[in-house]
Amino acid sequence: MTTSETCAAAASADVAASAEIGAGSRIWHLAQICDGAVLGASCTVGRGAYIGPRVRVGDAVKIQNYALVYEHAELEAGVFIGPAVVLTNDLNPRAVDPDGRPKGAEGWTPVGVLVREGASIGARAVCVAPVTIGRWAMVGAGAVVLGDVPDFALVVGSPARRVGWVGRAGVRLEKDHDSIWRCPRTGRGHVEEEGELHEI
């Protein structure tokens, strides 16, 4: 395990020798960090969470208890992964091939979930790869995400659908006028153009 002197891993955590763990990161009880995974600085990995092989995690990411982050997921800086979230990696899962033989590593092609900077995924949500969760987007608890989520979008349900916009503070934006949306907490403005939201 390549770690900083200032990172902390519980004795019961299983951290692969080839994993890279950044400064100030904390790994709690029974968490598993697999071969080749890279965890940035100041991250938190909760109890029983699973970080798969070659998963890449940016700085200041919080992965809550029992979340399952399978290869080849990539989480950019500031991402929040809620309790028991699942980021899948097999679009057509089968335990056996068409002849009934157990499938091996060569029998499937892993795909990944990309979670962009600052996005949040609520408890027990499932993101079915391959999908991208946009910057500062928010996925509601229990949602099933089957398609890409735009930046700043608030999506809920199964399948997930957009029900509003959120800002960097994580609260719903309010319509100011025409296509201008504003955060009630920070006052920051956003403009909506052709189904996408951009900060002003």
Question: What CATH number is given to the structural domain containing 126?
Answer: 2.160.10.10
Residue 176 lies in a domain: no
Question: Quick one: pLDDT at residue 1?
Answer: 47
pLDDT of residue 136 exceeding 50 = yes
For 5, the token pair is 């002197």
Q: Is 101 exposed, middle or buried (0-12, 13-18, 19+ CB in 10 A)?
A: exposed
Residue 102 lies in a domain: no
pLDDT of residue 4 exceeding 70 = no
The whole-angstrom separation of Cα 58 and Cα 80 is: 11
pLDDT of residue 2 exceeding 80 = no
The pLDDT confidence band at residue 5, using thresholds 50, 70 and 90, is: low
Mean pLDDT of 13-28: 97
Q: Are 53 and 47 in contact (CB under 8 A)?
A: no
Residue 162 lies in a domain: yes
Provide the residue range defining the domain that includes 159. 2-92+109-166
The whole-angstrom separation of Cα 93 and Cα 81 is: 23
pLDDT of residue 44 exceeding 60 = yes
- Total number of domains constituting the chain: 1
pLDDT of residue 69 exceeding 70 = yes
Q: Are 3 and 27 in contact (CB under 8 A)?
A: no
Residue 198 lies in a domain: no
Residue 188 lies in a domain: no
Place of tokens 């052709």: 194
3-state secondary structure of 138: strand
